[in-house]
Chain A
Amino acid sequence: MASTLMISNPVTNSDRSRKKKKKKTQAKDHHDQDHIKWKSEAQQQIYSSKLLQALSQVRLSSPPPSLPPPSSSTSSASVSAPPRGRAVREAADRVLAVAAKGRTRWSRAILTNRLKLKFQKKHKRQRVVATVTGTNRSSLSRKPKVSVLRLKGKGLPAVQKKVRFLGRLVPGCRKQPLPVILEETTDYIAALEMQIRAMTALADRLSGAGSSSAPPS
């Protein structure tokens, strides 16, 4: 049956070989494309507009999902700054993860973490707060485990330790092997840089538009 397919439709055969080639080169260009993607103006524009939409939604829902303030002597005013900033940051991270189109682990981890936080908020609020804010503490408590790991194949234990630490900074990479963490980090850094560029431009536009009226383009 395969032979008849080949004879009758030479196009599909070449298509199949082309697809195979495409798959291989796609794996290679994957890394380069990702880095270029985060630096392109188009990507930043897309991100900015999506971020703006998300932020306007955050603003409209007036009580944002905020963590309980640890020690607030003053009574909670109508506009509480830290939860608002936090909500903005979370929205920005979410939009960034969406812009990554689910190809990287950190983007998927951000999106699933948001869902987890939403559902766990009622029951296990304290535990969630601990995991979110207690990364430093957990790194200190996990110190002796590094020496038990294999020292042979992956280089110096100092490098190993640093990569583990890096894995905790990048979302979703705590238990990943070394090369995965390094790959995720390169993409994550490029994405973060774009996020900051877009947010800076947005903040400048908002603060500039608020003071002056319709600047000439």
Chain B
Amino acid sequence: MSSRRSRTRQSGCSRPISDDQINDLVSKLQQLLPEIRDRRSDQVSAANVLQETCNYIRSLHKEADDLSERLSELLASSDTAQAAIIRSLLMQQ
């Protein structure tokens, strides 16, 4: 694909991307994932780490959506919400 080739030629920071660099980034990612950290097996493949990452991000998204629902319900009634907001701001500082 000529378009593909021209695109890679334009992105010229580090064109030959070494496997070591990739492995380094994947291992850094591995440290962030709670599941793989707890499992403590040294034989996690890159594909496994990436799969866990996808699942983790999706679960984080879902958790954020659930929290948003909860917050929207909490903020639905105006009076308690206003008082609660003011109170929580004061408590924070």
Interface residues of A (CB under 8 A from B): 31, 45, 48-49, 52, 55-56, 58-59, 79, 81, 84-89, 92, 148-149, 153-156, 158-159, 162-163, 165-166, 169-170, 177-179, 182-183, 185-186, 188-190, 192-193, 195-196, 199-200, 202-203, 205-207, 209-210, 214, 217
A188 and B68: CB pair below 8 A?
no
For A158, list chain B residues within 8 Å (CB): 47
- Cross-chain contact of A155 among B19, B29, B69, B84 (Cβ < 8 A): B19
- Beta-carbon contact of B64 and A178 below 8 Å: no
Shortest CB–CB separation between residue A204 and chain B, in angstroms?
10
A170, B64: Cα distance in complex, Å: 14
A153-B17, A162-B51, A189-B53 known; A210 and B73 CB under 8 Å?
no
Residue B22, interface by CB 8 Å? yes
Flag whether B39 is at the interface (Cβ < 8 A). Answer: no
Query: How many angstroms from the CA of A31 to the CA of B8 in the assembled complex?
Result: 24
B54 — which chain A residues lie within 8 A by C-beta? Answer: 162, 165-166, 169
B→A interface (CB under 8 Å): 1, 4, 8, 11, 14, 16-17, 19, 21-22, 25-26, 28-29, 32-33, 46-47, 50-51, 53-54, 56-58, 60-61, 63-65, 67-76, 78, 80-81, 83-85, 87-89, 91-92
Enumerate 14 A-B pairs (CB-CB under 8 Å) in ascending A order: A48-B92, A55-B71, A59-B75, A81-B73, A85-B65, A88-B72, A155-B22, A166-B53, A169-B57, A188-B57, A205-B91, A206-B84, A206-B88, A207-B74
User: Bound complex: CA of A199 vs CA of B11, how far in Å?
Assistant: 38
Chain B residues within an 8 Å CB radius of A88: 68-69, 71-72, 75
What is the CB-to-nearest-CB distance from B4 to chain A, in angstroms, rounded to a whole number?
Answer: 7
In the assembled complex, which residues on chain A have CB atoms less than 8 Å from the CB atom of B78? 59
With contacts A192-B60, A203-B70 taken as known, whether A159 is within 8 angstroms of B32 at the C-beta atoms is: no
A160 CB, nearest partner CB in chain B, Å: 10
Known: A92-B64, A153-B16. A84 touches B72 (CB 8 A): yes
Q: Which residues of A are found within 8 Å of B47, using beta-carbon distances? A: 156, 158-159, 162
Kindly list chain A residues whose C-beta atoms are within 8 Å of the C-beta of B50: 159, 162-163, 165-166
B71 contacts A203, C-beta separation under 8 Å: yes
A contact residues around B22 at 8 Å (CB): 154-155, 159, 178-179, 182
Known contacts A92-B68, A159-B47, A166-B53, A196 near B60 by CB under 8 Å? yes
- B88: chain A residues at CB < 8 Å are 52, 202, 205-206, 209
